[in-house]
């Protein structure tokens, strides 16, 4: 039988009358090796502050509240939250020496350019440097652990600058883990490599958990940094019935019909008519009908990745490269591309680009431009590193753009992780922190936390994932 321990300090907790109105409720036990039968659980309706208990080594799991919310979330509700965004450091905590160049070991410019921009993403780098993943990793062949070693080589723990460029052997040696299609000494596509690399790191994050629902899989550190949600809306033109789906994304691939990123985004969110061979059956009308389709951004990630589709096909289905300059700015205003109307502007700052040079999509050369922790821009061309101006950065034939949520934007609160995730009124979290008392035994300390917020309205007001 479970026992509840209720504190009676009136200065900190509810009086007797309030306590009687709110009977003690217990949350589900975490059924894994961490869940011990003799563990006492603090009642759900006793609220404790997360601010005084957060540590750098915490692992946070979140369970559904025993009380369901009256409001329904358009985004699937996870059974467990694998990583809490409030552990991320979205800005550089110090000025770090510039990362060194990477030696090309045989057509690996695509790999080098991707590693360079990822090595200049503040929340990603600082999470890797902290070694959170490797300290509890259970995989024998883990690309996440390899990335930790690579970033540690870029930024030595003693704060010194690596004297020379080095070969990224931690990653090159693990190409077969990332994807079997990547072969040593063969030119590959940088965007495909970026997707596969993050995808394999995602697999490392969920490896210890079996039969995870999709919503829970989208709560890893990879999705908390790079992942957002779209809203894809279709409207039956016969009965006007509207259906919405909310797919997750790690990057947005943009067709280049205009001359700027803004025009490409306009094209991405424009309405599309589904007629003739594209018609499909309406669930209400029960017949094939014309539909109107529109995509928009429902939730933005901290780091927004834009892939510019620099290829086109002629009538003979021969692929050619789009070489014209596509304008992009130091900042990107995204308010008009959101699903919901926003009162405050949503601003993102450019932090990195990958360039593909050459007139053929099947060959050429990749290099990158990255914004460092002191705000200067560096040009990384394999092992060659040079300082460049912002004007030079903005004149490139960009293939991939990385934008970071601006610190100057007034639409978000970095401490509101729970508010931005799911649309229900109360979210209960169980935090456990493993404490080593001796070499033979470990004791898990569990703390029950509760938040009461109108999460649905917060997401609609901001559209930003914390």
Instruction: Work out whether the CA dihedral 161, 166, 170, 171 comes out positive or negative.
Output: positive
Distance CA 90, CA 359 (A): 37
Q: Which two tokens stand for residue 142?
A: 């883990």
Nearest to 340 by CA among 297, 396, 277: 297
Which member of 29, 90, 137, 365 is catalytic?
A: 365
SS3 content of the chain, % helix, strand, coil (to 5): 25, 25, 50
CB environment 359-391: b (16+ within 10 A), e (fewer): eeeeebbbbbbbbbbeeebbbbbbeebeeeeee
Distance CA 403, CA 407 (A): 12
Backbone angles phi, psi at 129, to 5 degrees: -65, -30
Which member of 109, 142, 154, 282 is catalytic?
A: 109
Task: Determine whether 132 is an active site residue.
Answer: no
Task: Determine whether 109 is an active site residue.
Answer: yes
The residues pairing with 428 across neighbouring beta strands, listed in sequence order, are 63, 450
Nearest to 92 by CA among 119, 115, 131, 113: 119
Contact partners, residue 151, CB within 8 Å, separation at least 6:
119, 125, 128, 129
Nearest to 446 by CA among 79, 26, 1, 15: 26
Distance CA 358, CA 378 (A): 21
Is the distance from CB of 184 to CB of 172 less than 8 angstroms? yes
Please report where in the chains the tokens 């978000």 appear, as a residue.
Answer: 412
Distance CA 325, CA 295 (A): 26
Q: Which residues are catalytic?
A: 109, 365
């Amino acid at each position: 039988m479970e026992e509840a321990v209720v504190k009676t300090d009136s200065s900190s907790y509810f009086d007797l009358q309030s306590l009687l109105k709110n009977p003690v409720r217990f949350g589900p036990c975490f059924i894994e090796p961490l869940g011990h039968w003799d563990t006492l659980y603090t009642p759900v309706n006793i609220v404790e502050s997360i601010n005084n208990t957060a540590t750098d080594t915490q692992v946070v799991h979140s369970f559904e509240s025993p009380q369901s919310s009256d409001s329904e979330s358009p985004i699937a509700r996870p059974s467990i939250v694998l990583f809490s965004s409030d552990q991320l450091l979205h800005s550089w905590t110090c000025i770090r020496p510039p990362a060194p160049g990477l030696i090309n070991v045989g057509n690996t410019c695509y790999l080098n350019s991707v590693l360079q921009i990822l090595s200049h993403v503040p929340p990603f780098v600082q999470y890797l440097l902290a070694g959170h993943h490797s300290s509890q990793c259970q995989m024998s062949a883990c690309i996440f652990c390899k990335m930790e070693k690579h970033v540690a080589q870029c930024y030595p723990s003693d704060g010194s600058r690596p004297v020379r460029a080095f070969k990224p052997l931690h990653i090159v040696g693990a190409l077969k883990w990332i994807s079997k299609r990547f072969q040593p000494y063969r030119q590959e596509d940088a965007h495909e490599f970026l997707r596969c690399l993050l995808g394999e790191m995602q697999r490392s994050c969920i490896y210890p958990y079996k039969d995870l629902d999709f919503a829970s899989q989208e709560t890893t550190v990879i999705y908390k940094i790079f992942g957002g949600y779209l809203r894809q809306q279709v409207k039956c033109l016969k009965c006007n019935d509207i259906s919405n789906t909310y797919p997750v994304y790690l990057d947005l691939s943009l067709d280049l019909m205009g001359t700027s990123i803004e025009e490409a985004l306009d094209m991405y969110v424009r309405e599309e008519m589904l007629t003739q061979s594209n018609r499909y059956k309406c669930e209400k009308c029960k017949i094939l009908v014309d539909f109107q389709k529109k995509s928009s951004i429902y939730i933005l990630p901290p780091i927004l990745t834009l892939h510019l589709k620099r290829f086109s096909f002629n009538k003979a289905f021969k692929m050619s490269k789009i070489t014209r300059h596509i304008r992009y700015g130091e900042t990107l205003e995204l308010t008009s591309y959101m699903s919901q109307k926003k009162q405050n502007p949503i601003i993102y700052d450019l932090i990195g680009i990958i360039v593909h040079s050459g007139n053929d999509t099947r060959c050429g050369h990749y290099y990158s431009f990255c914004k460092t922790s002191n705000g200067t821009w560096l040009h990384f061309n394999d092992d060659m590193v040079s300082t460049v101006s912002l004007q030079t950065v903005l004149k490139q034939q960009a293939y991939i753009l990385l934008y970071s949520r601006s610190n100057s934007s007034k639409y978000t609160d970095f401490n509101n992780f729970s508010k931005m995730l799911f649309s229900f009124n109360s979210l209960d979290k169980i935090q456990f922190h493993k404490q080593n008392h001796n070499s033979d035994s470990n004791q898990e300390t569990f703390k029950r936390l509760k938040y009461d917020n109108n999460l649905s309205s917060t997401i609609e007001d901001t559209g930003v994932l914390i």
